[in-house]
Structure formats: C-alpha cells, structure tokens
C-alpha cells in the first residue's frame, strides 16, 4: 500500500487541532461581534502572582519527580537485580493511582496522632492534624505521583545505549567520568521528553491544588469561570497557562526528537547491560523510592479499607463502574494508537520534519476539551454519541494521542530503515501491512497504548463533564468520595479495584497488539 495520502494526513491533523481553533474562535466571537475583551481579564495584575506560583509548583514538581525517579532507574538498570522485568512493572504501579488520591493518603498520615505528627511533634499543636494544605505538599504530591514517568523514560534510555560506546570509553576513563561524560549526555533526550510531559501535567493539575487549598492558575480559572458555561471566556483566561505549557512542551519534545530520543535500540548490536550485582546502596535507592511512591499508598489503601467485607461490598456495588472504566480507557488507547499509526506509518523519509504541533492538545486542560465536545456532540450527526460512553472514548483519545505519537515516533527512529524499504517489495498490500509494517511498529504501538490507557484511567476533568446522565464513572465516584464522604473505606477499596482494573486492561492491550508481531 502506498503511503497514506498527504491530504488524509492533513485532514486528520486539522481535526485533531480543531478544539483549539474552536475555543480560540469562541474567545473572540463575543455576542455576535468580534472582540478581544475576554483576553483583557487574563492581563489583570492580580493573575500574574498566581501564574508565577503555578509555574513554580510545576517546575519544583518536575525536579522532584526527576530526583525521585531518576536515581531509582539508574540503580535498577546499572546493577543486576533479580526479577528485573517484574521490578520495572511494579515501579509503574503508582501511575494507575490518580494524583488526587495521594492527597487522601497524606490526609491519613496527617491525622492527629498519625505518622507525621509523631515524626514532627514540634510542627503541630497537640490534638491538631499536621498542616499539609500548602504549596509544599502540593509539590510533594505531584512530584511523587509523576516520578514513575521519569523512571520509565530513563530506564528505557539506559537500555538503548550501545555497549561498545561505553566499553570504548572505559579504556581510558574511570567509571565516574564515563557515567558523567558519556551515559548522562546520552540520557538527556529521554530526560527532556519526560520533563516536558511532567511539567505540563503539573502545570494543568486542578484536583490536587484544590484539595490542598492552594490557589493555582487552574483553580483560579475554574472557580471564576467554571459556572458560566462559557468555554471561550475560560480559554481566554487560561491562555497564559496554555502558552506556558505549550512552549515548554514543544521546546523539550522537539529538542529530544532532534537529539534522537528512542524507546528501543534495535540498530545497536548490543546495548548496555548491568554486570555487577546489586549491593546495599542500589537496593536502598530503588526500594526507598518504590516504598515511598507505591508501597506507602497501597499500605494506606489497605489500612483504610480494613475488612474483606468492605472490598466485597464495594465490588458488588460498583463493579460495573470499574469494568466500564477499564473498557473506556482501553478503547481510548486503541483509538489513540490508530491515530498515531495513520499519521506516522509508513515512516516519513529521513530528515523530514515531524508533527511537533500535535503536542499542543496535551497542553489544553481536559475541562476545556470536555466543553468543546459537549458543544459539538449536542447537535449534528454525532448527537447519538453524546449520551453514551463513546464520547468518553473520543475525549480520551483526543486528549492523549500525542503520547501515542511520541511512543511510535521514538520507536520508528530506532528502527532500521532498510527493513521498511524491504517491506515495499512484499507482494500484496494487505500482506505488506499485516505481516511486515505492523509487526515492525508493534513495540511503539504497545508502549503508546499502555501509556494512553494509564493516563486516560486517571483523567478526571473531561470525564466529569462528559459522563452520560445517570452514570458515574469510577474515577468520578472516587473523586466524589474524596470530597464528600468522611469515611475512606469504600474509597480505598475502589482505588485498588481501579488500579488493578487499569493494569489488567493494559495487559490485555499488550496481548492484543502482540498478535501483530507474529
């Protein structure tokens, strides 16, 4: 089959960017006339300190996530650990827990007589909870919850470094110099790619600052314009935040692409592997990070849930919500990787510019995407999908398809060009795609589908707006329990069910996509 027509790819890109164009149109089309009055509110002096605080929280969260996840990935990949594939998978478990749930974890630890009050008795009055409602704990929660992103990217980056390059450097240089002058520079593209994503997600975070009573820019706009049903006005107010996230995201991702960021190292004959057994320090580094970011929340969940009867009752009451959440996130992931495949397969000629502008939707808050889809699906041919879970599938794919594009593009960058050239000689278009091209792209499709499924499972703003009437997706159910229910036992059980269901859905996605490798 010939490369997908340029016209089709162009139309697909226009449709993916259309929510941004629609919101921009609504922001300047006011009461039947063209006006820039909506943007004047985003230039008021009072919003700039809030924007600066939000950028500071996003930057600090990114550095904290790197400081937590980076050394853990280095310790795991640079030493010989038993059951290393299992440890890599376990390290990502924290991603399936919504960031706002970590607030519930810290609230439990901050109770009077809790862990924090015992560790720091001088910081709290007797009988009072530990004060966690601050920008510091907002940064701590966001940095901890997003640290597995850095772990994944740095772990993948270490496994793509050619072994012969490191061995050649070791002939005349010591281990410290080789690590600092050779390995770390080769990891910078992976670190840049992860930094752009984590900074953007932290910048747009609404639930965590709101629960911790921190006025971030997202909270300010939501409180000021959330009840006005005017997405154009909200987009104009959010423009400084959107531009900040978009510029950082585009800068980091474009630089990583130019430096050859890849998720695999197929062109290298032999990649860097660990030869030394893990000692006490690597175990402490990796184990300490995993205990803090994953084991601690799971332990708190189990303590809050308590008896087995709580799990049984929660499952009997909300099992449909859990399964629907798994199906929606999985279908969104499949739709996102289908979009990525349509844009990137077969690979563009070497040296051609990639689709950097497609990163812009990732810097758009999910709430504004939800408002846009509500306007679109209320009328026209898509009305039949408006009150169905299909709109949630579309929203998840449109929100996170750039992640699938990144994963597939990074894999294609490391895939040998001669294999794709040889695929053109295979007889039959269907055979060429099913037996050669899709198997070559399968690793990138698998990585993209898993990443999108994990992110969609924790996407709250768009789900809140687009959930069909009479239904309550599991992520919305958990959020309502965090807000309005003082008892946390059902909340804890549902969080565990949601996490396990998301993992099961990701495993099913990988299993389905592995069919194309055969």
Neighbours of 258 (CB within 10 A): 11
Q: List, for residues 100-141, the tens digit of each pLDDT value.
A: 778 888 888 888 888 888 888 888 888 888 889 999 999 999
Q: Up-side HSE of residue 127: CA atoms within 13 Å toward CB?
A: 0
- Select the more confidently predicted residue: 230 or 295: 295
Least confident of 171-185, 252-266, 467-481: 252-266
Pure H helices in 212-356: 217-225, 231-258, 280-290, 296-305, 308-344
Q: Helix crossing, 366-377 with 231-258: angle to 10°? A: 120
**Is the model's pTM score more than 0.75?**
yes
pLDDT band at 274; cut points 50, 70, 90: low
The DSSP element (H or E) to which 494 belongs, if any, is helix 489-513
Decide if 399 contacts 456 (C-beta within 8 A): yes
Residue 4 has pLDDT above 60, yes or no: no
Q: List, for residues 442-474, the tens digit of each pLDDT value.
A: 888 888 888 899 888 888 888 888 888 777 888
Report which of 277, 298, 223, 285 is spatially closest to residue 497, judged by C-alpha positions: 298
466: Cβ contacts below 8 Å, ≥ 6 apart: 370, 373, 374, 391, 392, 395
Residue 267 has pLDDT above 70, yes or no: no
Q: List, for residues 138-152, the tens digit of each pLDDT value.
A: 999 999 999 999 998
Residue 58 has pLDDT above 90, yes or no: yes
What DSSP state is assigned to residue 33? E
Residue with tokens 């969080």: 495
What DSSP state is assigned to residue 35? -
Q: Is 127 left (phi over 0), alpha (psi -120 to 50) or beta?
A: left
Residue 46 has pLDDT above 60, yes or no: yes
Q: List, for residues 329-361, the tens digit of each pLDDT value.
A: 999 999 999 999 888 887 765 545 556 788 888
Decide if 148 contacts 91 (C-beta within 8 A): yes
DSSP string across 323-385: HHHHHHHHHHHHHHHHHHHHHHSSPPPTT----GGGGGGGGS-HHHHHHHHHHHHTSGGGHHH
Compute the distance between CA of residue 389 and CA of residue 330 in angstroms, rounded to an integer: 12
Decide if 328 contacts 458 (C-beta within 8 A): no
Structure token digits, residue 93: 């478990």
Quote the mean pLDDT of the chain.
82
Question: So what's the pLDDT on residue 70?
Answer: 93
Residue 284 has pLDDT above 90, yes or no: yes
The residue-averaged pLDDT of 194-222 equals 89
Report which of 252, 257, 264 is spatially closest to residue 194, judged by C-alpha positions: 252
The torsion defined by the Cα of 195, 254, 153 and 106, in degrees rounded to 10, comes to 20
Compute the distance between CA of residue 327 and CA of residue 237 in angstroms, rounded to an integer: 34
Report which of 66, 363, 93 is spatially closest to residue 205, judged by C-alpha positions: 363
Q: Per DSSP, what are the bridge partners of residue 203?
A: none
Q: List, for residues 372-390, the tens digit of each pLDDT value.
A: 888 888 777 777 777 788 8
Q: Residues 423-443, buried b or exposed e (16+ Cβ, 10 A)?
A: beeeeeeeebbeebbbbbbbb
What's the per-residue H, E or C state across 126-159?
CCCCCCCCCHHHHHHHHHHHHHHHHHHHHHHHHC
Compute the distance between CA of residue 378 and CA of residue 358 in angstroms, rounded to an integer: 26
Whether cis (ω within 30° of 0) applies to the bond prior to 413 is no
Angle 24-29-31 from CA coordinates, rounded to 5°: 145
Least confident of 80-84, 333-337, 419-423: 419-423
pLDDT band at 287; cut points 50, 70, 90: very high
Compute the distance between CA of residue 211 and CA of residue 72 in angstroms, rounded to an integer: 29
Residue with tokens 């510091």: 136
The residue-averaged pLDDT of 252-276 equals 64
Q: List, for residues 237-253, the tens digit of each pLDDT value.
A: 888 888 898 899 888 88
Residue 2 has pLDDT above 70, yes or no: no
Pure H helices in 5-158: 6-28, 37-40, 47-77, 84-91, 99-109, 115-119, 135-158
Please provide the distance, in angstroms rounded to a whole number, between the alpha carbons at the two ends of the chain: 20
Question: So what's the pLDDT on residue 271?
Answer: 58
Structure token digits, residue 343: 């844009």
Q: How far, rounded to the nearest angstrom, does the alpha carbon of residue 323 sit from its chain's CA centroid?
A: 21
Question: So what's the pLDDT on residue 516?
Answer: 61
The residue-averaged pLDDT of 47-52 equals 88
Compute the distance between CA of residue 204 and CA of residue 337 in angstroms, rounded to an integer: 24
The residue-averaged pLDDT of 218-240 equals 78
Question: So what's the pLDDT on residue 266?
Answer: 45
What DSSP state is assigned to residue 3? P
Question: So what's the pLDDT on residue 227?
Answer: 57
The DSSP element (H or E) to which 162 belongs, if any, is none
Compute the distance between CA of residue 312 and CA of residue 317 in angstroms, rounded to an integer: 9
């Amino acid at each position: 089959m010939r490369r997908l027509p340029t016209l089709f790819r162009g139309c697909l890109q226009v449709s993916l960017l259309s929510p941004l164009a629609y919101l921009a149109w609504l922001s300047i089309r006011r009461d039947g006339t063209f006006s820039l009055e909506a943007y004047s509110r985003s230039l008021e002096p009072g919003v700039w300190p809030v924007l600066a605080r939000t950028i500071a929280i996003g930057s600090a969260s990114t550095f904290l996530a790197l400081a937590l996840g980076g050394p853990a990935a280095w310790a795991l990949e640079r030493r010989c650990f038993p059951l290393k594939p299992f440890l890599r998978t376990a390290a990502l478990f924290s991603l399936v827990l919504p960031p706002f749930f970590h607030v519930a974890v810290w609230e439990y630890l901050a109770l009077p007589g809790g862990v924090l009050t015992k560790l720091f008795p001088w910081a709290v009055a007797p009988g009072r909870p530990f004060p966690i409602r601050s920008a510091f704990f907002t940064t701590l929660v966001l940095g901890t919850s997003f640290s597995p992103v850095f772990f994944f990217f740095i772990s993948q980056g270490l496994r793509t470094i050619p072994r012969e390059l490191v061995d050649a450097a070791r002939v005349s240089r010591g281990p410290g110099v080789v690590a600092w002058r050779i390995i770390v520079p080769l990891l910078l593209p992976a670190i840049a790619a992860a930094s752009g994503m984590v900074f953007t997600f932290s910048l747009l975070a609404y639930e965590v600052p709101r629960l911790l009573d921190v006025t971030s820019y997202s909270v300010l706009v939501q409180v000021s314009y959330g009840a006005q049903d005017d997405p154009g006005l909200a987009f104009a107010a959010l423009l400084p935040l959107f531009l900040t996230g978009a510029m950082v995201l585009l800068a980091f991702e474009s630089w990583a692409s130019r430096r050859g960021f890849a998720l695999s190292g197929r062109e290298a004959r032999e990649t860097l592997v660990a030869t030394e057994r893990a000692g006490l320090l690597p175990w402490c580094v990796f184990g300490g990070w995993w205990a803090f970011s994953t084991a601690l929340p799971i332990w708190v969940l189990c303590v809050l849930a308590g008896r087995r009867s709580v799990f049984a009752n929660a499952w009997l009451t909300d099992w449909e919500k859990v399964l629907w959440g798994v199906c929606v996130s999985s279908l969104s992931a499949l739709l996102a990787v289908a979009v990525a495949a349509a844009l990137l397969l077969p690979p563009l000629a070497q040296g051609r510019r990639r689709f950097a502008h497609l990163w812009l939707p990732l810097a758009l808050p999910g709430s504004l995407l939800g408002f846009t889809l509500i306007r679109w699906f209320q009328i026209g041919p898509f009305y039949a999908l408006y009150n169905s879970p299909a709109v949630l599938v579309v929203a998840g794919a449109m929100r996170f398809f750039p992640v699938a594009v990144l994963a597939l593009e990074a894999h294609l960058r490391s895939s040998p060009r001669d294999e794709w050239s040889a695929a053109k000689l295979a007889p039959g278009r269907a055979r060429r795609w099913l037996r050669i091209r899709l198997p070559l792209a399968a690793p990138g499709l698998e990585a993209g589908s898993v990443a999108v499924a994990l992110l969609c499972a924790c996407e709250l703003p768009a789900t809140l707006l687009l959930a069909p009437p009479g239904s309550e997706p599991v992520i919305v159910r958990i959020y309502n329990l965090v807000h309005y229910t003082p008892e946390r036992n059902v909340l804890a059980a549902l969080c565990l069910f949601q996490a396990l269901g998301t993992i099961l859905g990701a495993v099913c996605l990988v299993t389905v996509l592995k069919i194309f490798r055969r």
